[in-house]
């Protein structure tokens, strides 16, 4: 039997589409890939679709257009895993809708594609893609430092927050007296040859002249996407008194002497008079 030429195949497909209609086809293909996942954890990738009257022919998963997983319901076994460096598929947890990657590491950062194909006669195929980042967080929490530990009204205060190397660099948020600071100097990152990057952010404050709170509690928070977050220690800056020595004398030493001395004299006079009266009564 003579094989069909490409032109004949195209005509047959068009005729099939006219007779079968749009009811028996593939619709609403969507891919769901974690935007970020911590290194060492599992990642679940899902692909949803609607087969309106058609049958599923195959599901194929790719990383950067290299196939690593296939599901074909008409084959036995239905699943097939292809050897791709560092990709470990949990076959027992994977099926026609999802594929589970075990213990991901930084090499699995990239673009993932899901290709869905309907069965004959149309073999309608759609492919969707999405990015995933594997996060390697810093080994320690961020650190906060200040150019001064005490302040007076009107002083300018410079506070730095540094987050150690991570992949990717962490974003930094400031908190003053447990209130998030909406705007601050942009974070600077220092990149290293291995792809890691550290973060540094500077917060500039002007101390209020008449502050209702005689201290500033400052901390910073480092975060990478929504998979890792850590906070620094809280830095407490104290407001300087205008004249602490004189204030201490007025409130403690001076007032005590001025109050106690007259009281002691009155008590002693009272005791002396009592002694004299008692002695006079005895003589009588």
pLDDT of residue 55: 87
Asked if residue 70 belongs to a domain, the reply is yes
Asked if residue 284 belongs to a domain, the reply is no
Neighbour order of strands in the sheet with 36-38: 36-38, 125-135, 110-118, 56-63, 66-71, 79-81
pLDDT of residue 259: 35
Do 31 and 102 share a domain, yes or no?
A: yes
Asked if residue 248 belongs to a domain, the reply is no
Do 124 and 233 share a domain, yes or no?
A: no
Please say whether the beta carbons of 84 and 133 come within 8 A.
no
Which residue ranges of the chain lie beneath pLDDT 50?
A: 1-4, 6, 8-12, 14-22, 243-263, 266-267
Do 32 and 126 share a domain, yes or no?
A: yes
Give the span between the Cα atoms of 20 and 62, in whole angstroms. 31
Tokens 């792809």 belong to 195
Do 49 and 80 share a domain, yes or no?
A: yes
Do 93 and 166 share a domain, yes or no?
A: no
Give the span between the Cα atoms of 247 and 245, in whole angstroms. 5
Do 122 and 154 share a domain, yes or no?
A: no
pLDDT of residue 52: 77
Task: Sort strands 36-38 and 125-135 into parallel, antiparallel or unpaired.
Answer: parallel
Asked if residue 152 belongs to a domain, the reply is yes
Judged by phi (left if over 0) then psi (alpha if -120 to 50, else beta), residue 64 lies in left
pLDDT of residue 282: 58
Do 204 and 224 share a domain, yes or no?
A: yes
The count of domains in the chain is: 2
pLDDT of residue 262: 47
Do 175 and 96 share a domain, yes or no?
A: no
Cα–Cα nearest to 224, from 193, 201, 198, 202: 198
Do 91 and 197 share a domain, yes or no?
A: no
Do 127 and 10 share a domain, yes or no?
A: yes
- pTM for the model: 0.71
Please identify, among 135, 155, 187, the residue that sits at the C-terminal boundary of a domain. 135
pLDDT of residue 51: 84
Tokens 């759609």 belong to 126
Asked if residue 276 belongs to a domain, the reply is no
pLDDT of residue 245: 44
Percentage, residues of the chain above pLDDT 90 = 57
User: How large is the C-alpha radius of gyration of the chain?
Assistant: 38
DSSP 250: I
Give me the CATH number covering residue 213.
2.60.40.10
Asked if residue 278 belongs to a domain, the reply is no
pLDDT of residue 26: 78
Residues spanned by the domain of 79: 6-14+21-135
Do 118 and 220 share a domain, yes or no?
A: no
């Amino acid at each position: 039997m003579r094989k069909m030429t490409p032109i004949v195949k195209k005509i047959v497909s068009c005729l099939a589409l006219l007779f079968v209609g749009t009811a028996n086809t593939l619709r609403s293909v969507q891919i769901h890939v974690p935007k970020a996942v911590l290194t060492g954890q599992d990642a679940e990738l899902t692909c949803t679709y609607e087969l309106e009257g058609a049958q599923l022919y195959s599901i194929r998963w790719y990383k950067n257009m290299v196939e690593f997983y296939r599901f074909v319901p008409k084959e036995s076994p239905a699943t097939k895993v292809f050897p791709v460096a560092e990709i470990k598929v949990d076959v027992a947890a994977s099926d026609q809708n999802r594929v589970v990657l075990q213990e991901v590491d930084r090499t699995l950062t990239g673009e993932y594609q899901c290709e869905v194909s309907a069965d004959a006669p149309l073999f309608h195929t759609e492919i969707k893609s999405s990015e995933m980042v594997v996060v390697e967080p810093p080994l320690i929490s961020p650190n906060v430092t200040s150019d001064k530990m005490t302040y007076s009204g009107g002083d300018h205060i410079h506070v730095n927050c540094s987050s150690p190397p991570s992949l990717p660099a962490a974003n930094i948020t400031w908190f003053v007296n447990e209130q998030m600071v909406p705007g601050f100097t942009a974070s600077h990152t220092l990149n290293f040859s291995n792809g890691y990057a550290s973060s540094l952010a500077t917060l500039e404050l002007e101390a209020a002249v008449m502050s209702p709170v005689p201290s500033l509690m400052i901390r910073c928070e480092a975060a990478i996407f929504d998979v890792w977050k850590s906070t620094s220690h809280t830095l407490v800056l104290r407001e300087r008194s205008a004249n602490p020595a004189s204030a201490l004398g007025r409130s403690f030493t001076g007032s005590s002497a001025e109050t106690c001395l007259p009281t002691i004299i009155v008590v002693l006079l009272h005791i002396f008079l009592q002694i004299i009266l008692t002695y006079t009564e005895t003589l009588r």
